[in-house]
Structure 1
Amino acid sequence: MTDNTEQPAKTDDITAADVVHCMIGKGVSLRGDMDFSGGLHVDGNITGNLEGHKERSRLTLSREGTITGNISVGEAEINGTIVGDVHASGTVTLHPQSHVTGNVYYGKIEIRSGARISGKLIANNPQGDKGGLLGKLSRKSA
């Protein structure tokens, strides 16, 4: 006899950044710098710098969320408001409701129509510049 019940999905492909390890809920205000690893989801307000450890750290900022401070993460998905610089070694996704006042440093970037940026977009390693030659040349000419 064959068992036709569905088996649970395998989770081998889920990485630490795909899982939310910490959540700052709506109505919560946090003051001070914060270090984290894995996934961080913010619905509330943070005043302070955020640093995600390891390349696979991921910040998700909801529409209601605000961060005033600099951010350093592996990946960032922004729906809310940031006043400060965003540094991401991987992908930064700016959704239509996002508003960043500061520079955005990225490995890859996705900007949806409606996203607002008051600052510069700076590629960590521009595509085609595999040896970082653009940065070396600009330092030599300075």
Structure 2
Amino acid sequence: MALTDNISINSILGVGSSIKGDVKINGFARIDGDIDGNLEAAGNIIIGEHARIRGNVTGRSVTIIGGIILGNIVAPEFVRLLSTSAVIGDIQTKRLYSEENAIIHGHCISRVEAADYEKATSDWENVKAISSMSVRI
């Protein structure tokens, strides 16, 4: 999907708007405001250049035009990071597109084949579960 494809956006959170709590959207979403909570959409998600999200983002695909996500992204189709975007968290997707100067600070799983994607995701979930149970001295 190109940014210029004909799309129908179901939900928009505008610049200067904010939500505290988890958000679940049935369809396509564009976020230009702030969310302090998890964002889940059944369709595609566009994160605008002024958006700030502190929580996990889950959707069919995620395009980050700009803004900051402090949390993990799960998008089975693709994740696209434009040059002014920042992700502080893990990314799980089949296809990752990143422009120069985009920031990713976390682990990334990007596997095109469905079986490879599922195995890599399962392995990573196991590593995270084991790491969270370890005792730190």
TM tier, smaller: 0.7 to 0.9
Letter in 1 for 2:98: I
For 2:116 and 2:94, the matched residues in 1 are separated by: 13
Q: Percent identity?
A: 27
Give unmatched runs, 5+ long, in structure 1: 1-12
Residue 48 (structure 2) pairs with residue 24 (structure 1): no
Q: Distance in 2 between matches of 1:131 and 1:97?
A: 32
* TM-score normalised by length of structure 1: 0.75
**Greater gyration radius:** 1
Task: Tell whether the 8 Å contact from 2:90 to 2:106 is kept in structure 1 after alignment.
Answer: yes
Query: Which residues of 2 match residues 50-89 of structure 1 at below 5 A?
Result: 50-53=39-42, 57-78=43-64, 79-89=66-76
SS in structure 1 opposite 2:27?
Answer: strand
Q: Output the CA distance in 2 between the equivalents of 1:115 and 1:133.
A: 23
Whole-Å Cα distance in 2 between the matches of residues 51 and 64 of structure 1? 19
Q: Is the 8 A contact 2:94 2:117 kept in 1?
A: no
What's the secondary structure of 2:119's corresponding residue? helix
Equivalent residue pairs, number: 118
Q: Which has the higher helix share?
A: 2
d(CA) in 2 for partners of 1:44, 1:131: 36
Q: 2:124 matched to 1:135? A: no
